[in-house]
Chain A
């Protein structure tokens, strides 16, 4: 399984641990990711506020590069994914818009023909790698760790529509179950975290993040499929708590981090030291869970 890989701008910065764990886990699964050469910013949440054409041309350039590389393009950033797939769909049946986008792309020496195929990393793991292959690599089952699966809002409409449900997806639940987690019912699993509002309009961002953290109930951690959600849920627990006169201290994990944990990969490789809320408690719970399931019926305590 070989793909061109689009890291996105936050992969080297605020979402470093997502990138690190993604690279480590994909390598472990035998998925070859080649970073798209000379990739540019997809426009994030900003481009649509500035220019409609740029909001399509910026991602389209990356699609054009993938076409040139004759490879499917995979990204682990849900926001990037959404911008890219938006460029795919909005130019698909609209020749005049595609033309205008290509006028802009001409400035960078490429053209987009509409043939590029884009995938989100979760889609690749579930449909290309397959849950059976993932199960094989599990060396350290999560031991019934209670996880709340947070799908996020961005990629659902474009991806799950093909192989799952947009409103009530289950693919991530299944993946987590394969890793040995006990997946809790998370009512806000596809609700938006507020995106960049956490920075640009803190009051609203904090409320949304607080809602998400509170809805996790007594789950041991929240696992996200989106680096931006990860950043938000990780970094603003204090503010979110303050806004609701409560205190949050929930470990947040990225999808490939928890996969790596279950595969038994070293913590540093998964960037776990970068997570704001420490994850040691999770390792402890995993150990307890594993001992309980292996020593079922024995009177002795956890080993």
Chain B
């Protein structure tokens, strides 16, 4: 450990990065001034340091010149720090004796004048820091070979099945009484017009019968502790008041129950009983009793019809909530989306006119398990003309700036369904752009055009019942501009279907906090890198898939689900995880036990304990620590320092940059 500081030999490598750096920074001059610094054994510059010959240069110099520090002045460490750490390790050094100096994103790419001077200063600072770098050991921790999947829609189901098929244990937690998610509400899916339930229910059944999947429905995750490879999740299982082991799913309790409530599954268009399964193909096919509508619960034992009629005696009002703890190595978030409530957009009349409905409500009308048995009938009437309004709350800075991606396609699907089910129906699509980008999508668009659907390019300003002509009497009128003709248009229809924005779940913020995730500006859970890491998150070991990450259709959801499965299996199969070495460390002699570090750390890494000390002293769980440095800054006595970012190292940099001795 005690290294003679006179023996420090630093190699400095300045990358041209083609013309990215060399075009603005005088690399020769910068190399020359680096060479002049004491302790710099060699300073070189090269076209592409990250290339094989570039890497070879470093390894060769380490061997031949006995270098024990390496400074690479190039692009951002986010690009190649792992690359050069590996190079340095292969050369025989500890990977933490490398310092990457960013003279591209922070220098040559942002300055025209003064770039060379700045690069010189940055490299000088880098050299000063490198002098004080210490070797560090990364640790490995084992990975628990199980996965928690949060959310049982198509995304969660696919991911769970894939992980389970690989022989790994999966806990699938779903908040609703049944798995299936929004996909189970849909009638047919675009562009193939497959029946949604037909393709979904076999998977739901597979989940139920899979030996490796432990399915917990009507349950929610309420706490998560731990770190990648070693998470502990606490799950609250709400009481169904029906014993799953006894229930056969015969349905007599639902038949006999006299109490009704609005059906959430039917989006308020239909009703269910107080004891209910949300839909016929529910998995598990075990009803739950809704305590807010069950008279037995509300009125202390009045009613009890279900108790009486259940032949298996499965109804059990003595059930209470259960808390279950599970230990997993990785977590997959598949919590899905909410559909925006378009009542906000008052001018479209949702909530005011009974014949204005949302897309999900329309799905329920089309679906054979829906309130109208699959007939498109609303308020007792079959519409002869339907207006479908796109972009309701999407692509609109007043609500959601983003495009919800699936609406153009499902609007086309609706057109087809209407044409199929209602003879001579007129269908009008009010669009701004038709987004049919996927495989088979454009062909589907063409097909709908040929089925006689009228496309009107104009975002409707209003849906009104004020009739200005004979043909408008008794109808809803969609008012817009036909932008292709440059004329205002009034289109009378019997029914209006709105395509509301897909938004992040209303509790996305709480979920993000619980799992230590970030949200994108649009509210959805954020992926780590938009292109290269679409399912990883800022929290190692937690992945986000499906619409929880952003609006998308079923093919893309499934692709992400499988990606999530691959990520978790990769983690588990590796068997262990490397923890980063740049963690916080406490000098116990300075620690006063104030507890501020414990309070402020969002990763719960510091804990105070008095094992063998007079006052409580903080110690850092290195597996949890992310090396963010907040505790070090908060500590009033300076007891905490961050490895690889010690006070000495940072002050050396500052001294070199400012020219002021610190």
Is there a direct interface between A and B, measured as CB atoms under 8 Å apart in the complex?
Answer: yes
- A interface with B by C-beta (< 8 Å): 165, 167-168, 187-188, 211, 215
For B465, give its contact among A167, A187, A211 (CB under 8 Å): A187
Is A188 a contact partner of B347 (Cβ separation < 8 A)?
no
Q: Find the A residue at minimum CB distance from B347.
A: A167
Q: How far is the CA of A167 from the CA of B347 in the complex (A)?
A: 6
12 chain-A/chain-B pairs, Cβ below 8 angstroms: A165-B346, A167-B345, A167-B346, A167-B347, A168-B346, A168-B347, A187-B464, A187-B465, A187-B466, A188-B466, A211-B468, A215-B466
Q: Find residues 298-345 in chain B having any chain A CB closer than 8 Å to their own CB.
A: 345
Q: How far is the CA of A188 from the CA of B464 in the complex (A)?
A: 10
Instruction: Report Cα–Cα, A254/B465, bound state, in Å.
Output: 27
Q: What is the count of residue pairs linking A and B with beta-carbon distances less than 8 angstroms?
A: 12
Residues of A within 8 A of B464 (CB): 187
Min CB–CB distance B396 → chain A (angstroms): 13
Chain A neighbourhood of B468, CB < 8 A = 211
User: Contacts of B466 on A, CB cut-off 8 Å?
Assistant: 187-188, 215
A165 to B346, CA, bound (A): 9
Of B345, B466, B468, most buried by chain A (CB within 10 Å of CB) is B466
**Shortest distance from the beta carbon of B355 to any chain A beta carbon, whole Å:** 16
Please give 7 more A-B residue pairs, beta carbons under 8 A apart, in addition to A165-B346, A187-B464, A188-B466: A167-B345, A167-B346, A168-B347, A187-B465, A187-B466, A211-B468, A215-B466
Complex Cα gap A188–B465 (Å): 11
Residues in chain B within 8 A of chain A (CB atoms): 345-347, 464-466, 468
How far apart sit A167 and B464, CA to CA, in the bound complex (Å)? Answer: 13
Report chain B residues within 8 Å CB of A188: 466
Give CA–CA (A215, B472) in the complex, Å: 14
What's the nearest-Cβ distance from chain B to residue A166, in Å?
9
User: Which residues of A lie under 8 Å from residue B347 when comparing CB positions?
Assistant: 167-168
A168 CB contacts on chain B under 8 angstroms: 346-347
Q: What is the bound-complex CA distance between A168 and B352, given in angstroms?
A: 11
CB-nearest residue of chain B to A167:
B346
- Assembly CA distance A211 to B464 (angstroms): 14
Q: Name the prevailing secondary structure of the B interface residues.
A: loop
CA distance A255 to B473 in the complex (A): 32
A168, A187, A188: which has the most chain B beta carbons within 10 Å?
A168
Contacts of A215 in B (CB 8 A): 466
Give A181 Cβ to nearest chain B Cβ, in Å. 21
Bound complex: CA A165 to CA B464 (Å): 18
Complex Cα–Cα for A119 and B347 (A): 26
Query: Bound state CA distance, A215 and B468, in angstroms?
Result: 9
Roughly how many angstroms separate A215 CA and B464 CA in the complex, as a whole number? Answer: 12
| B478 vs chain A, min Cβ distance (A) | 14
B346, B464, B468 interface centre (most CB from chain A within 10 Å): B346
Give Cα A168 to B466, complex, Å.
15
The smallest C-beta distance from A239 to any residue of chain B, in angstroms, reads 19
Q: Which 3 A-B pairs have the closest CB atoms?
A: A168-B346, A167-B346, A187-B466
Question: Closest residue of chain B to A186, judged by CB?
Answer: B466
Distance between Cα atoms of A254 and B347 in the complex (Å) = 25
**Distance between Cα atoms of A187 and B468 in the complex (Å):** 12
Chain B residue numbers with a CB within 8 Å of A187 are 464-466
Please name the residue on chain B nearest to A168 by beta carbon: B346
Please give me the residue from chain B that is nearest to A166 by CB atom: B346
Residues of B contacting A167 with CB < 8 Å? 345-347
A253 to B563, alpha carbons, bound, how many Å?
A: 67
Give chain B residues whose Cβ lies under 8 Å from the Cβ of A211: 468
Instruction: Give the chain A neighbours of B465 by CB distance below 8 A.
Output: 187
> B487 CB to closest chain A CB, in angstroms?
16
**Residue of chain B at shortest CB distance from A211:** B468
CB distance from A244 to the nearest CB of B (A): 10
Chain B residues near A165 (CB-CB < 8 A): 346
CB distance from A258 to the nearest CB of B (A): 24
Query: What's the nearest-Cβ distance from chain B to residue A231, in Å?
Result: 24
Chain B nearest CB from A168 CB (Å) reads: 4
CB distance from B343 to the nearest CB of A (A): 10
Instruction: Give the residues in chain A near B345, CB-CB below 8 Å.
Output: 167
Shortest Cβ distance from A169 into B: residue: B346
Nearest residue, chain B, Cβ from A165: B346
Closest to B348 in A: A167
User: Please, how many angstroms separate the alpha-carbon atoms of A188 and B466 in the complex?
Assistant: 9
With both chains docked as a complex, state the minimum distance between the C-beta of B59 and any C-beta of chain A, in angstroms. Answer: 57
Q: How far is the CA of A167 from the CA of B465 in the complex (A)?
A: 16
A44 to chain B, nearest CB (A): 27
**Minimum CB–CB distance for B476 against chain A, Å:** 12
| Distance between Cα atoms of A215 and B466 in the complex (Å) | 7
A187, B353: Cα distance in complex, Å: 12
Alpha-carbon separation in the docked complex, A215 to B346 (Å): 19
In the bound complex, how far is the Cα of B343 from the Cα of A165, in angstroms?
12
Instruction: Give A214's nearest chain B residue, CB to CB.
Output: B468
* Alpha-carbon distance A167/B344, docked complex (angstroms): 9
Shortest CB distance A283–B (Å): 29
User: Measured between C-beta atoms, what is the minimum distance from A150 to chain B in Å?
Assistant: 14
What distance in Å separates the Cβ of B315 from its nearest Cβ neighbour in chain A?
46
For the complex, give the distance between the alpha carbons of A187 and B466 in Å.
Answer: 7
Please give the distance in Å from B523's CB to the nearest CB on chain A. Answer: 22
Contacts of B346 in A (CB 8 A): 165, 167-168
When chains A and B are docked, how far (Å) is the Cα of A40 from the Cα of B4? Answer: 84
- Shortest CB-to-CB span from B164 to chain A, Å, is 50
CA distance A188 to B345 in the complex (A): 16
Cα A168 to Cα B346 with chains together (Å): 6
Chain A min CB distance to B630 (Å): 34
Question: Within the assembled complex, what's the spacing in Å between the Cα atoms of A238 and B88?
Answer: 92
Least CB distance, A206 to chain B, in whole angstroms: 16
C-alpha spacing A6/B358, complex, angstroms? 46
CB distance from B214 to the nearest CB of A (A): 48
Task: With both chains docked as a complex, state the minimum distance between the C-beta of B344 and any C-beta of chain A, in angstroms.
Answer: 9
State A187–B472 Cα separation when bound (angstroms): 15
Give the shortest distance, in Å, between A188 (CB) and chain B (any CB).
7
Query: In the bound complex, how far is the Cα of B347 from the Cα of A199, in angstroms?
Result: 30
CB distance from B329 to the nearest CB of A (A): 50
Min distance, Cβ B259 to any Cβ of chain A, angstroms: 34
Q: Tell me the bound Cα distance from A57 to B465 in angstroms.
A: 42
- Report the minimal beta-carbon distance from B660 to chain A, rounded to whole angstroms: 37
